[in-house]
Amino acid sequence: MTLALIGGTGLSRMPGLVIENADANAGANAVVTEWGESAAPVLQGRLNGLPVLFLARHGNPHRLLPHQVNYRANIAALKQAGASAIIAVNAVGGISAEAASGVMVLPDQIIDYTWGRDMTFFDQGQTPVVHVDFSWPFDAALRERLAVVLARSGMPWLNGGCYAATQGPRLETAAEVLRLERDGCDIVGMTGMPEAVLARELELPYAMLSLVVNPAAGKSEREITMAEIEAVLHHGMDSVCRVLAETCADMLRQ
Ligand code: HPA
């Protein structure tokens, strides 16, 4: 098992990762794939003893907006490097009342509101055409592993929920968030799609660990500021990293 971790906003480096391909770490060399270059080098190492790959989704330092990320290259680079499963971390806005700032969410569904992104590996004229099953977008076994760690962590978390993937880079209007809520969405972010489906197309089990960093638009009296988001991110990503490290330790034991 080689677990790949994708770090999002607030997680461009993985604390505790003992890097074994130091050359990739030193250089800015992205991985060249058939689909273009990954956002950053794929770091190979160990986290709590478990072989782990780490990729900064937006580059390191963070430079790519959600719609500028080459999701196909990122997922292909992880596959090429030998990933057998992916846990993706992302920062989100909270829509449902339980999804308060600082809460970690293990979504079990996703709705795609993005547009214009390269969202399939299967548009190269393949015959027969491929339509992957995506009824359950997240891998049940990986989610369960994370759920076990979250349950014993004592930290606030939610088991399940629907992630709305919006286009960004702007935040939503209050009316858009009301629509997402009517659609059944609990959290909103900008990077879950097409990342999740591309992993499915390459048969990589994929789960998401989302950190709520602000009430979504219209869900609080205040304006949403980057300062507010960063304050929650700073502390919240420490919790996310603890969960990831514990999950690695569990995986090594079993
Ligand atoms: N909306 C969309 N994406 C986000 C948000 C939000 O409120 N917060 C963090 N990522």
Task: Pick the atom of ligand 1 nearest to 214's CA.
Answer: 8
- Residue 205 CB contacts under 8 Å (≥ 6 apart), including other chains: 84, 85, 86, 139, 141, 142, 199
The reply to whether ligand 1 has any atom less than 6 angstroms from the CB of 198 is: no
Nearest to 120 by CA among 194, 37, 206: 194
Split at pLDDT 50, 70, 90, the class of 21 is confident
The reply to whether ligand 1 has any atom less than 6 angstroms from the CB of 155 is: no
Split at pLDDT 50, 70, 90, the class of 23 is low
Give the model confidence (pLDDT) of 236-252 as tens digits: 999 999 999 999 999 99
CA–CA gap between residue 6 and residue 78 (Å, rounded):
9
CATH number at residue 226: 3.40.50.1580
Give the model confidence (pLDDT) of 156-206 as tens digits: 999 999 999 999 999 999 999 999 999 999 999 999 999 999 999 999 999
Pocket test for ligand 1, best of 167, 180, 214, 229 (most atoms within 8 A of CB): 214
Tokens found for residue 186: 């609990």
Nearest to 191 by CA among 216, 218, 163, 219: 163
The reply to whether ligand 1 has any atom less than 6 angstroms from the CB of 213 is: yes
Split at pLDDT 50, 70, 90, the class of 24 is low
pLDDT above 80: residue 140: yes
CA–CA gap between residue 116 and residue 96 (Å, rounded):
28
For the chain, the straight-line distance linking the first and the last C-alpha, in angstroms and rounded, comes to 11
pLDDT above 60: residue 26: no
Split at pLDDT 50, 70, 90, the class of 1 is confident
Q: Give the per-residue pLDDT at 135.
A: 98
Q: Are strands 162-165 and 109-112 parallel, antiparallel or unpaired?
A: parallel
- Residue 231 CB contacts under 8 Å (≥ 6 apart), including other chains: none
Q: Which range of residues forms the domain containing residue 107?
A: 3-253
Once rounded to an integer, what is the mean pLDDT over residues 18-39? 83
pLDDT above 70: residue 72: yes
Q: Does a cis peptide bond (omega within 30 degrees of 0) precede residue 128?
A: yes
**Could you tell me the pTM of the whole model?**
0.97
Give the model confidence (pLDDT) of 198-216 as tens digits: 999 999 999 999 999 999 9
Task: Pick the atom of ligand 1 nearest to 216's CA.
Answer: 7
Helices (H) and strands (E) counted in the chain, each on its own, are 6, 13
Question: What total of structural domains would you count in the chain?
Answer: 1
CA–CA gap between residue 127 and residue 121 (Å, rounded):
13
Residue pair 194/88 in contact by the 8 Å Cβ criterion: no
Q: Please give the single-letter amino acid code of residue 105.
A: V
